[in-house]
Homo-oligomer: A and B are copies of this chain.
Amino acid sequence: MSVQNWEIRARRAKDVLLNSVPKQWILPAHRLPPAHQKNVEDFPRKSGVLSDREVSITEMSATALVAGMRAGLLSAEEVVIAFLKRAVLGHQLLNFATEFMAERAIARARELDEHFKRTGKLVGPLHGVPISVKEHIAIKGRTCNAGFVAWVDDIANEDALLVQYLEKAGAVFHVRTNQPQSLMHLCCDNNLTGPTTNPYNRTLTPGGSSGGEGASMGFKCAALGVGTDIGGSVRAPAGFCGAYGFRPTTLRLPGTGIKVPGAGQEAIRGTAGPLASQSVEDLDLFQRAILDQEPWEIETSLVPIPWRRVKATKAMTVGIMWDDGCVRPHPPVTRALQHAKEKLLAAGIKVVDWEPYRHDHGWEIVVRPSPLNPALHPSLASPQLTTPPEKSNLYFPDAANSQRTVLSQSGEPLLPLTEWAFAYSRASPLTIPENWALNYKRDVYRDEYHALMKSRGVDFILCPVYVGAAAVMGESQYWNYTAIWNILDYPGVVFPSGLVVDPALDPLDGGYRPRSEVDAREWVKYRPERYEGAPIGLQLVGKHFKDEETLAAAGLVSDIVQGRAEDIKPRL
């Protein structure tokens, strides 16, 4: 096989990565778990690389780490070294990093320690917290390729605005993380540094597009992470990897310096969002640390709403959405919802069923539904779906030409899930009036959904993160358990239910008759053994701009569902 030009360019991304891995903490291959071992999540304890104290540090929440540093019990330097060690192990097992920044991180940690020694004060609410960052969020002086080979030599002129604010708040950046080609997979593979895998089951994807972040959180390579989300790209990775993730309402977190093709697209906005390895509380800490700095004073398109301090109470109504009316969740997901329902009821929370409101309609605002192949599933073919509405395209108003252009600049081949995503676009770009008509349809749908939540008295919707607990590598085809909330622009929090896929508890339900080809396609993927050990995440969604309330509620709900509600939570 001859080496193509694009491969030569792509190798530069690998070189950046390989040169950056701190050699002193690399474990020889024979000391790593065997390649066939699926679950590697608990390897750090056994690796011999981390001391017990270091293992403990890496399993603390950001909130607890900061408290520990404030109390003088921890130094920022030992914290970042612990996380760096764990991140190197994680990378060896999961290929989640695109670049380590060990020297920078350690130097920064020492600065923080010196500051604390000198003043007795922390520099900010994230003092000394190691944070991993998705690669397309620019770091000054470093490559920013966004998963495209063509952009491998693009060096950022300055830190993304979000990175600047995090740094001012005291964060330490030690590792940058992987993303899929085109940024439009719920998986995580590209032609630069290759696929990232899931720490709980290495035949599964960590999710995407912030898949490197999912792996980073699942393996606890950082206390907090930063991803981006336009269709589930923060929440799927959090859910697949047993972690916490938050997609805020758009226009709250700054986007300046986050590299994507087609900047200026506003019909469906993407947003950055935090991931956390330990708690919902850490997601709130992240939001607070940014928004207390008033980012709208620099990025003026942001909405100037300060981050409000909200306390959750049990006086709320949670609607459980068991199924989106289109694609049935796999049995483990339904079991986790059932488990959550029982726990919430037992805790005295009002729980009702949430009947989804036209999620197919919402979905068809953003994508062209895949044409059915009636030959394959004659019994399932529905006449509506065989004639996809040609005007639906808000995920790809330009027919993905901005992405295709960047791909063609290097000549790199399209990965199957890139082809899959682009197939959601119709062949030709929208015209301006078509785009306007869809914007209008989107707004009407948003108003209707909101009115329905109010009239039903539902404050939050508890729902699946994805069809399954996770996806097998390359199989993440159905986005609408997360994307629907992007279409509606609702804040959503993902948290682990505490349950994992268990073939004994999650047998195949042979009796289910899928409602459509898409439903069938997803249903046939389920066999319990394929997902064994995968943590089952849940998603709590709140109303537009009710970010603070949604996070507060998710903190309470996750504690209840995980059975920690009555525990005294450890606070260092």
Q: Which residues of A contact B (CB under 8 A)?
A: 256, 262-267, 296-301, 303-305, 397-398, 401-402, 429-433, 435-441, 443, 446-447, 450-451, 454, 544-545
Contact = CB atoms under 8 A, between A and B. Distances in A.
A266 B433 CA distance: 11
B304 A433 contact: no
A203 to B, nearest CB: 39
Contacts of A439: 264-266
Given A264-B437, A301-B446, A435-B435, 9 more contacts: A262-B433, A264-B439, A264-B441, A266-B266, A298-B451, A300-B447, A304-B545, A432-B432, A432-B435
Nearest to A396: B432
A402 B436 CA distance: 11
A296 B305 CA distance: 14
A440 B304 contact: no
- Copies of this chain, count: 2
A429 B454 CA distance: 40
14 contacts: A264-B435, A264-B436, A266-B436, A297-B454, A298-B451, A300-B443, A300-B544, A303-B303, A303-B305, A304-B305, A304-B544, A402-B433, A432-B432, A435-B435
Shortest 5 CB-CB contacts between residues of A and residues of B: A264-B436, A264-B439, A264-B440, A398-B432, A397-B432
Contact of A297 (B435, B446, B450): B450
Contacts of A545: 296, 303-304
A545 to B, nearest CB: 5
A269 to B, nearest CB: 11
A299 B429 CA distance: 29
Nearest to A431: B429
A263 B433 CA distance: 9
Nearest to A439: B264
A263 B432 contact: no
Nearest to A401: B433
A118 B180 CA distance: 68
Nearest to A441: B264
Contact of A436 (B262, B447, B451, B544): B262
Contacts of A438: 264
A104 B447 CA distance: 30
Contacts of A298: 447, 451
A299 B440 CA distance: 12
A116 to B, nearest CB: 31
A478 to B, nearest CB: 26
A439 to B, nearest CB: 4
Contacts of A296: 545
Interface centre among A305, A435, A439 (most CB of B within 10 A): A435
Nearest to A436: B264
Given A266-B266, A429-B431, A431-B429, A300 B450 contact: yes
B436 A263 contact: yes
A447 B454 CA distance: 36
A446 B264 CA distance: 13
A291 B431 CA distance: 35
Nearest to A489: B300
Nearest to A399: B432
Contact of A263 (B305, B429, B440): B440
Given A264-B437, A266-B266, A300 B446 contact: yes
Nearest to A249: B304
A22 to B, nearest CB: 37
Contacts of A402: 433, 436
Nearest to A263: B440
A173 to B, nearest CB: 24
B398 A433 contact: yes
Contacts of A299: 447
A436 to B, nearest CB: 3
Contacts of A433: 262, 398, 401-402
A267 B398 CA distance: 16
Nearest to A301: B443
A377 to B, nearest CB: 34
A267 B439 CA distance: 11
A292 B438 CA distance: 30
Nearest to A255: B443
Nearest to A546: B304
Contacts of A256: 447
A447 B398 CA distance: 26
A437 B266 CA distance: 11
A263 to B, nearest CB: 5
Nearest to A299: B447
A256 B447 CA distance: 11
A443 B397 CA distance: 20
Contact of A265 (B300, B430, B436): B436
Nearest to A450: B300
Contacts of A450: 297, 300
A451 B437 CA distance: 34
